[in-house]
Structure 1
Amino acid sequence: MTIELEEPPLLQDNKQVIKDLFGGTVGGITQVLVGQPFDTVKVRLQSAPEGTYNGALDVIKKLIANEGPKGFYKGTLTPLVGVGACVSVQFSVNEFMKRYYNEKLNGAPLSLGQFFNCGAIAGFANGFLASPIEHIRIRLQTQTGSTKQFNGPIDCAKKIFQNNGLRGVFKGLPPTLFREGVGLGTYFTTYEALIAKELAKDKSIVRLDIPGWKLCLYGGLSGYSMWISIYPVDVIKSKLQTDSLTKPTYRSSLDVIKDIWLKNGIKGFYRGFIPTILRAAPANGATFAAFELTMRVIS
């Protein structure tokens, strides 16, 4: 299947790259503000010792009782800066690759496979940025009680580096690269397929005519497709990134897989799935809408 792509700017248009980065940054900041409470619940479910929580509602109750509503935004500074950067990389590399294919194909429409390649390359590139940012964020999100191990993102990064060096900062990189590559390939392909279907229904409109609410809807559905395709890998990554800095339980992703399987079976790979899916629609819908609408304003 091929999908018509509106005539993009020239591949070497540096101004367009800057615009893509800016649009992605706006999308990323929007994603954090909308999705952070869901993400905090997800991470605590994924990484807490067995028996700590009886599900997402139990996490929410205990979090409000012990930390108040602001607890949902624990560690927000890191993702606010980091996710803004990550999403700007995701969208700008994806848009760059779409322009690359458009020039290579002399304006012919891209296939679904080529859209997947665009998203997968964007995800792989983003993985090297996302891995340390998410590692720091997760360490901060899972801090509970009055005694804090880390006093903010900079202190967290320093202590990880002091204990484990650069390798420790990038702990969880292999599953992050896999998650980002497959996940964002699926993510952007789903979105482009939905946009193409919308344009095919009414030949009189172009992409710029699609209303914001539909961009939100298609972004939300794209978020569902992404998380369904890669969620177990995210659990493995979170387990690695919340392991002890001084006496780690896991040496690799394989150790995590064995441990989860022996303790919980297949359901262990889906801990925290419900808050993730609940987050997927609003967070990713807002991300795509913010990106597309920002690009319309600055183009």
Structure 2
Amino acid sequence: MTIELEEPPLTHDNNQVFKDLFAGTMGGIAQVLVGQPFDTVKVRLQSAPEGTYNGALDVIKQLLKNEGPRGFYKGTLTPLVGVGACVSVQFSVNEFMKRYYDKKLGGQPLSLLQFFNCGAVAGFANGFLASPIEHIRIRLQTQTSTKAFNGPIDCFSKIYQQQGLFGGIYKGLIPTLFRESVGLGIYFATYEALIARDLAKDRSLTRADISSLKLCLYGGLSGYTLWIGIYPVDVIKSKLQTDSLSKPTFKGSLDVIRSVYGSSGIKGFYRGFIPTILRAAPANGATFAVFEITMRMLG
């Protein structure tokens, strides 16, 4: 299948990588500010023992009652810096791969599979950065009355002291790499397909003519396809990354799968799905819109 892009937004000037990185960082900051409250609810649902909460609304009520509105933004500093960096890597590697294919194909339009490949490479590269950042963020998000960590640096230090680099800081790396590779392949391919559909309808349009509202809509739809495709893997990752540091329950992903399926069946792999889907549209819509608008401003 070939997606006809009338005017592919692929340039090869020396400053392009820096533009991609900066625009990606702006998109990542927007994603965190919009999506953090949803993500906190999702992580609490995913990681809490069975019966702790009666659903997303119960998490919200308990958060407001016990921790106040600021509880929704627990651990925000880590994702604000970290997700900014992660989204920067995602978009810059994806754009680099698009330019690679553009050069290889001599300017011919990329196929849907090639767009998927671009996103998958971006996801794999990003996984090595996302894994430790998300691990620290999740530890901070799931702190309640007992405060084990005094911020991201203290959290990093304590995890490293107890379990080292690969057994501790990079815990959950394998499911993170799988989630990022497959998920971002779907994510970027969906977005490019929607953009191409608009350009095919009206060949007088260029990518820069697509409105901010449509960019938000297409980003939101891409977020839906991402999470529908890989959500159970995210649950496995979260279970690993919230396991006890001193007396871990799980040896790896297979242990998590057996435990979740044994206690809750298939539905156990979809705990926290509703707040994730509710988050997907605004957070990813903001991400893509801010990225595209920043790129237009940079020229």
Q: Report TM bin, short chain.
A: over 0.9
Aligned to 1:278: 278
Residues 7, 134 of structure 1: alpha-carbon distance in 2 compared, 3 angstrom cutoff: closer
> Which aligned pairs between 1:1-299 and structure 2 lie closer than 5 A?
1-5=1-5, 6=8, 8-10=10-12, 13-145=13-145, 147-167=146-166, 168-299=168-299
8 Å CA contact 1:29, 1:83 repeated in 2: yes
The count of aligned residue pairs is 296
Equivalent position amino acid for 1:9 in 2: T
Aligned residues of 1:27 and 1:291 also touching (Cα < 8 A): yes
Deviation at 1:105, TM superposition (A): 0.1
Q: Is the 8 A contact 2:175 2:236 kept in 1?
A: yes
What CA deviation, in whole Å up to 9, does each residue of 1:81-123 have, x standing for no partner?
0000000000000000000000000000000000000000000
Name the aligned partner's letter for residue 243 of structure 2: D
Q: Distance in 2 between matches of 1:151 and 1:8?
A: 44
Structure 1: 5+ residue stretches without partners = none
Q: State how far apart, in whole Å, the 1-side matches of 2:60 and 2:174 are.
A: 31
Normalising by structure 1, report the TM-score: 0.98
SS of the aligned residue for 1:2 comes to coil
How far 1:179 moved relative to its partner? 0.1
SS of 1:53's equivalent in the other structure is coil
Alpha carbons 1:24, 1:88 under 8 Å: kept? yes
Determine if contact 1:7/1:107 at 8 Å carries over to the other structure: no
* Letter of the 2:135 counterpart: H
Report how far residue 203 of structure 1 moved. 1.1
Q: Which runs of 5+ in 2 are unaligned?
A: none
Q: Distance in 2 between matches of 1:297 and 1:8?
A: 16
Runs of 4+ in 1 over 6 A off after TM superposition: none
- TM-score normalised to the size of structure 2? 0.98
Deviation at 1:14, TM superposition (A): 3.3
